[in-house]
Amino acid sequence: MSIARFILTPIAVLTVFFITALFSYDIARTFKIWPDVFVGPVCAASVLLVGFVVAPRRKIATASLIFLVGSYTAWFQIRGYFPEGGPKAYELTKIPAIASISTGLLVLGFLILYTRSNHLPNRTPEPTA
């Protein structure tokens, strides 16, 4: 069971990332929210939560690895531009990357507090049968 969950973790994380990105982009457009700042944090939170839940063992280590990979990707790969209509329209900005990294750090902190406050063993118990 744990080998299947070990294989399932990256597949689940990537699947949730793409599905969340598609739906959150539509939500941002519907409510006229700046998509660059909305999609990243929503994806960061959902990916960390799914990685934490699906990981068979070392849930905090798994979530931390997902956070580090996501932070690197957000900082070096995301090119955000200020929205049109403002004084800095179409200028590059790191605000979307900072929002994504901040949300990921906040969610990771909450996961650590949740694990410690509930005295979770940081792993999913194996069935005894």
pLDDT tens digits along 6-43? 888 999 999 999 999 999 999 999 999 988 899 999 99
CA atoms within 13 A on the CB side of 70: 31
Model pLDDT for residues 64-83, shown as the tens digit of each residue? 999 999 999 999 887 787 77
Per DSSP, helices labelled H in the chain are 2-30, 35-54, 59-77, 95-117
Of 83, 96, 70, 103, the residue nearest 32 (C-alpha): 83
| Region 87-92 average pLDDT | 79
- Maximum separation of any 2 CA atoms in the chain, in Å: 65
- What's the pLDDT score for residue 126? 62
- What's the pLDDT score for residue 15? 96
